[in-house]
Amino acid sequence: MEFEDGTAIWASSGTVQAPLVESFIMDDQVSEEFHADDADIKVRSSDGVLFKVHQRTVDKYSEGLLGNGVPNSRGEFELKENCETLGLLFQYMYRKRPELSAVPFSTLRSVADAADTYQMYSLSDMCECQMSRHARTYPVDVLAYAAKRSLADLVDEAASRSTGIDAETALTALGQETFIPWVLYRETWNTIIRDVNDPPAVLHKGGMRTCELWHMYYMAVANDLRAFGPGEVQEGGRVFGKYRSSLRSCTHCKLRAENWARAFGSAPGRMPKFSSVVSEMAS
């Protein structure tokens, strides 16, 4: 049923099959959550699920969902979003606050793109709030999202976790415009890390600059550190402890390792923010 203000309530939830005969003829799968008897609009998801909704509600919460689209011969509007994304869009329109904190990143991104496309502004804001949760796992994708929307804080957070990504993946995700400053940003970090990874020798007994324990330790730590960007030095700092036992009882090498770890920990302070790299390029 539909209320005066265009919202509606539903008798049940989940996904059901249409009645057998119709199902046989149309091979139809209907959204269990959105299948109002008094619906005047039918929307078909890219993966074939039918949503029966109210034009009035759709028009109220979305400027462009139906847009200038023309329904197919069965009177359905065919959209490019899948049923999971459309379900969340309709939850938003029908004031059933969508649980965006529980959805995987790919779904969140799809909802965010759809919210932008269909001009559902407060849903866009809701997606934006959730994006930073994924900056650790999907840094270049979140960076691409944030750069497109000029969200400086999120841009900086995601970029600071993205330097371990290979260039090809970054180019695909970011597009050329953001990729170029990203390359400069990553190169700046790599230069700082090359400097950090050259900790001054600590003289051993007898004036020796090092001992046989250092090389193995150095190679293992330097190799592992490559995965960490300026926003990840806390996680990266654990690498120093992970191999510490290989230095056994050499206090000189251990001191050198501590100096190295300290230099790594302060390296982010030497980095520009990604957003300032972008604005410098633009000026």
User: Which residues of the shown chain bind Zn ion in the complex (CB under 5 A)?
Assistant: 211, 213, 250, 252-253
Please, what is the minimum distance in Å from the beta carbon of residue 251 to Zn ion? 8
Q: Please, are residues 159 and 143 in contact by the beta-carbon 8 Å criterion?
A: yes
Residue 65 phi/psi, 5° resolution? -60, -45
Cβ within 8 Å of residue 283, ≥6 positions away: none
Please, what is the minimum distance in Å from the beta carbon of residue 150 to Zn ion? 50
Comparison of 209 and 226: residue with beta carbon closer to Zn ion = 209
Return d(Cα 247, Cα 264) in angstroms, integer.
Answer: 19
Return d(Cα 157, Cα 276) in angstroms, integer.
Answer: 13
C-alpha dist (Å) from residue 103 to 62, 95, 97, 112, 274: 21, 18, 13, 12, 28
Comparison of 180 and 213: residue with beta carbon closer to Zn ion = 213
Q: Please, are residues 180 and 281 in contact by the beta-carbon 8 Å criterion?
A: yes
Return d(Cα 169, Cα 60) in angstroms, integer.
Answer: 39
Please, what is the minimum distance in Å from the beta carbon of residue 211 to Zn ion? 3
Comparison of 17 and 251: residue with beta carbon closer to Zn ion = 251
Comparison of 171 and 213: residue with beta carbon closer to Zn ion = 213
Q: Is 282 exposed, middle or buried (0-12, 13-18, 19+ CB in 10 A)?
A: exposed
Please, what is the minimum distance in Å from the beta carbon of residue 240 to Zn ion? 15
Please, what is the minimum distance in Å from the beta carbon of residue 212 to Zn ion? 8
Residue carrying the six token digits 């020796």: 208
Lookup: tokens for 67: 């847009």
Comparison of 54 and 252: residue with beta carbon closer to Zn ion = 252
Lookup: tokens for 61: 């919460």
Please, what is the minimum distance in Å from the beta carbon of residue 217 to Zn ion? 9
Comparison of 215 and 226: residue with beta carbon closer to Zn ion = 215
